[in-house]
Amino acid sequence: MPGPRPRGLHPLLLEQSYWRNRLQVLKLARPSVLLIPRPELATHAVDVDEFRIRTHDGIRLFGLRARHRLGTSTTPARIRVVGPCELPEVDPAALQPGETEFVFQSPAGRRLEDRVLDVLRICQVATQSESVRSDQVQLVSATQQPDEFLIASHLLAEEATAPPLSCRGEGGAPDLRLL
């Protein structure tokens, strides 16, 4: 019996020309991040902060950032999303030395296009706050990858294979080359 077939997206959802204008809007909306220490969630090896950011269309996203204090890792940042009815939680025991995890709550009723841009915004925050390249950020899911992760991964992969441009945008912030 054959195994489960990998899920694919319609090719038009991955069309770079479709995303060009939408990514321009993301670039124009400068990210601002508010970090609030959450010592009650921290352990001796893991710092936890609550983060709040505004999306490209002004919606507020919130979540948790857990950073392992010890060592270095080949995967310095990863991103997870939880549903609108779930609270973001981190598992400090699952973090490897040097890793940072961003877990954010997706607002209810959000269109796919906006969810993709939300994931890319969190990627920008991760690259900026952790001083890593976008190809060092992993989008992880405990179950089947959500569509927004599949599309964002495709866009980030296209960015990584694009001809080398300055990796810093205006003000020294990391910049998505697709923008």
The enclosing domain of 114 has a CATH number of 3.40.50.1820
In a domain, 95, yes or no: yes
The band of 12, judged by pLDDT with boundaries at 50, 70 and 90, is low
In a domain, 2, yes or no: no
Contact 86, 106 (CB under 8 A): no
pLDDT average, residue stretch 107-135? 86
pLDDT average, residue stretch 110-120? 91
In a domain, 106, yes or no: yes
Number of domains making up the chain:
1
In a domain, 17, yes or no: no
In a domain, 62, yes or no: yes
The band of 64, judged by pLDDT with boundaries at 50, 70 and 90, is very high
Per mean pLDDT, which range of 11-15, 55-59, 110-114, 161-165 is the poorest? 161-165
In a domain, 46, yes or no: yes
For the chain, give the percent of residues with pLDDT over 70. Answer: 77
Q: What pLDDT is attached to residue 163? A: 53
In a domain, 6, yes or no: no
Structure-block tokens of residue 6 = 């990998």
Rg (CA), the chain: 16
Strands 77-82 and 100-105, bridge-based pairing? parallel
In a domain, 179, yes or no: no
Domain holding 134, by residue range, is 31-159
Q: Which of the residue ranges 4-13, 62-71, 151-160 has the most confident prediction, judged by mean pLDDT?
A: 62-71
The band of 91, judged by pLDDT with boundaries at 50, 70 and 90, is confident
CA distances from 83 to 42, 71, 105, 108 (A): 23, 31, 6, 8
Q: What pLDDT is attached to residue 13? A: 74
